[in-house]
């Protein structure tokens, strides 16, 4: 029996899924071209990951002024209050972007996509949401981000626990842990921020940890209105220019130590961004960098047991080959008498009980509140759970079941006229978020503009180009220390999947150049003619094509500039 297709009530040239940075920037740019654009957003407002993440201490780790869109009419009229804005201020910034660009009128909020299929006879996508919206579009842009869907491990007995359980992405407002016993599962970036806040009012706090994070100093501070004003004439330059680094063995030990002191005091990711390129490819050089980090960190922890767990003399993995969270007083918080660290390597978590957690050594840790700081279903979580079907009717979760494959990190073979942003096999994990997504969205906008002007019906990545891109990602990674570390960067934190490098490490500058080279002659694409030629806004098209040397910021710059 043939199923009846629902009748679309929304018709547009482009449908965007997601109203975070990518969705807002993409909507603005595509509007400028003169295209009809609509957006489905699962949340109740703008913000993407920042709509959901409201846990204590949630804060950006890309420093002002880089963590914002490079649209002049937006940044000219907005001032950030500090070097690293918190989640509240970031949502205020999104509201400002909305007001300036008048975006809300084209957004369908509380509209989670649960089905999307390609109608070959129409050359269009049919997209449905859980709340009943049905849309028809020529181009489908999946701007759902890589850190959106929560990762919640299954533990025996969790249903028996009678205290409260909260995941970081579903934090109840107003939760007070004063005088309470708190357990935090996980020791990554989210855990670091939560522990810094909850360890102070809690009567007792325990961190369940398999491996320590190698944190870097945040060095947050207020940004005055005068400082905002003084820097704005240089914003466009800052958005384009990156930093350079030199080789570690080209300097003396004394020069290296002095330089390390300098970048350490600068805070943020400068210890990564400004480090010597050798540390990404040479274990000996990496160990020297780790030794400096360990000396700085161990001096802040008086408890010897905690010191050896959180800043061991020998590196638990090559430093900076997984995310290094930024911290303010994390190590002082760990050193408090009311804070304990449960080493899950020595005593794995066995089960939940009615009043806490039992570890393999038989000890029961009693808690009033348990926090899951277990992160996200990274890279694929949102895209593989929206009922997205290929042109052959295969669900994306099955297409990417064994291994992730893309072309340029923005297209997937079998999905015509479908584009991704802030996506696997692009520089996203090693770059400043707004910077890489603007690079990708500008490419997508130019691609759509060319297709429309040529009268193309559809575009699709070839299977061979996708295979070649994956090979390139693996070859670049194999020359570095990244494969030696298990992390979400290599998808090795997910159960039941084969670890694989999912980040392009040669830098946004080289990445964007490679992407744009494919537009001339449509290298690696199958382009089907037969559409209507359209004349689009030439000014907007020129704006998109001129942004070829957008900057890469913070540790995206140093890591990717020197590792390949």
Residue 549: pLDDT band by 50, 70, 90 thresholds? very low
The Cα 143–Cα 375 span in angstroms is 19
DSSP assignment, residue 518?
A: T
Phi-psi region at 11: left, alpha or beta (left = phi > 0; alpha = psi -120 to 50): beta
Residue 456 has pLDDT above 80, yes or no: yes
CA angle at 452 for the pair 446 and 453, rounded to the nearest 5°: 90
443 cis-preceded (ω within 30 degrees of 0): no
Closest residue by Cα to residue 114 from 375, 494, 378, 397: 397
Give me the domains of the chain, ranges plus CATH numbers.
Answer: 10-149+378-558 (3.50.50.60), 150-213+325-375 (3.50.50.60)
Closest residue by Cα to residue 505 from 547, 437, 557: 557
The Cα 422–Cα 434 span in angstroms is 9
**pLDDT above 90 as % of the chain:** 74
Mean pLDDT of 418-438: 90
CA angle at 523 for the pair 519 and 525, rounded to the nearest 5°: 95
SS3 call for 355? coil
Answer positive or negative: Cα dihedral of 495, 497, 499, 503.
negative
Mean pLDDT of 388-414: 95
Q: Which residue in this structure is represented by tokens 């600068």?
A: 266
- Burial class of residue 211 (count of CB atoms within 10 Å of its CB; 0-12, 13-18, 19+): middle
Are 367 and 335 in contact by the 8 Å Cβ rule? The answer is no
What is the pLDDT, as a whole number, of residue 247? 43
Q: At what angle do helices 433-454 and 21-33 cross, to 10 degrees?
A: 30
What is the pLDDT, as a whole number, of residue 238? 80
> Which has more confidence, 451 or 383?
451
Mean pLDDT of 496-502: 79
Q: Which two tokens stand for residue 139?
A: 């181009």
What is the pLDDT, as a whole number, of residue 405? 94
Residue 548: pLDDT band by 50, 70, 90 thresholds? very low
Closest residue by Cα to residue 440 from 238, 148, 142: 142
Q: What pTM does this model have?
A: 0.91
Residue 390: pLDDT band by 50, 70, 90 thresholds? very high
What is the pLDDT, as a whole number, of residue 538? 65
Residue 496 has pLDDT above 80, yes or no: no
65 cis-preceded (ω within 30 degrees of 0): yes
**Strand (E) or helix (H) holding 461:** strand 456-461
């Amino acid at each position: 029996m043939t199923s009846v297709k629902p009748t679309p009530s929304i018709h547009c040239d482009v449908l965007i899924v997601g109203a975070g940075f990518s969705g807002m920037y993409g909507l603005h740019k595509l509007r400028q071209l003169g295209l009809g654009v609509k957006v489905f957003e699962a949340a109740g407002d703008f913000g993407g990951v920042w709509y959901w993440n409201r846990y204590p201490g949630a804060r950006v780790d890309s420093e002002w002024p880089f963590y914002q869109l490079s649209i002049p009419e937006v940044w000219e009229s907005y001032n950030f209050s500090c070097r690293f804005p918190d989640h509240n201020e970031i949502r205020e910034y999104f509201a400002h972007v909305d007001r300036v660009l008048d975006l809300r009128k084209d957004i369908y909020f509380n509209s989670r996509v649960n089905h999307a299929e390609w109608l070959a006879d129409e050359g269009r996508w049919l997209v449905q949401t859980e709340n009943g919206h049905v849309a028809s579009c020529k181009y489908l842009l999946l701007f759902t981000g890589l850190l959106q869907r929560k990762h919640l491990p299954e533990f025996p007995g969790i249903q028996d626990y009678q205290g409260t359980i909260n995941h970081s992405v579903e934090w109840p407002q107003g939760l007070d842990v004063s005088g309470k016993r708190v357990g935090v599962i996980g020791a990554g970036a989210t855990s670091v921020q939560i522990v810094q806040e909850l360890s102070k009012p809690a009567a007792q706090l325990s961190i369940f940890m398999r491996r320590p994070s190698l944190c870097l100093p945040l060095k947050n501070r207020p940004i005055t209105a005068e400082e905002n004003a003084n820097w704005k004439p240089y914003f466009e330059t800052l958005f384009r220019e990156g930093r350079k680094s030199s080789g570690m063995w080209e300097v003396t030990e004394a020069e290296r130590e002095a330089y390390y002191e300098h970048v350490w005091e600068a805070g943020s990711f400068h210890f990564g961004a400004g480090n010597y390129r050798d540390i990404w490819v040479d274990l000996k050089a990496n160990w020297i960098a780790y030794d400096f980090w360990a000396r700085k960190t161990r001096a802040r922890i008086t408890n010897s047991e905690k010191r050896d767990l959180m800043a061991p003399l020998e590196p638990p993995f090559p430093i900076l080959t997984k995310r290094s969270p930024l911290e303010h007083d994390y190590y002082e918080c760990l050193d408090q008498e009311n804070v304990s660290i449960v080493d899950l390597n020595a005593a794995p978590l066995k089960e939940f009980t009615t009043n806490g957690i039992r570890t393999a050594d038989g000890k029961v840790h009693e808690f009033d509140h348990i926090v899951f700081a277990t992160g996200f279903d990274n890279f694929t979580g949102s895209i593989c759970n929206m009922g997205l079907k290929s042109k052959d009717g295969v669900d994306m979760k099955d297409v990417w079941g064994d291994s992730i494959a893309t072309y340029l990190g923005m297209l997937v073979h079998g999905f015509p006229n479908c584009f991704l942003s802030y996506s696997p096999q692009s520089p996203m994990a090693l770059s400043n978020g707004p910077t890489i997504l603007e690079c990708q969205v500008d490419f997508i906008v130019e691609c759509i503009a060319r297709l429309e002007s040529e009268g193309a019906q559809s575009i699709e990545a070839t299977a061979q180009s996708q295979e070649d891109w994956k090979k390139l990602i693996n070859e670049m990674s194999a020359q570095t220390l990244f494969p030696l570390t298990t992390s979400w960067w290599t998808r090795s934190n997910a159960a039941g999947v084969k670890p694989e490098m999912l980040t392009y490490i040669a830098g946004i500058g080289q990445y964007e150049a490679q992407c744009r080279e494919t537009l001339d002659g449509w290298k690696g694409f199958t382009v089907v003619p037969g559409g209507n030629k359209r004349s689009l806004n030439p000014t907007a098209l020129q704006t998109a094509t001129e942004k070829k040397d957008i900057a890469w910021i913070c540790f995206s710059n140093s890591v990717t500039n020197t590792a390949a």
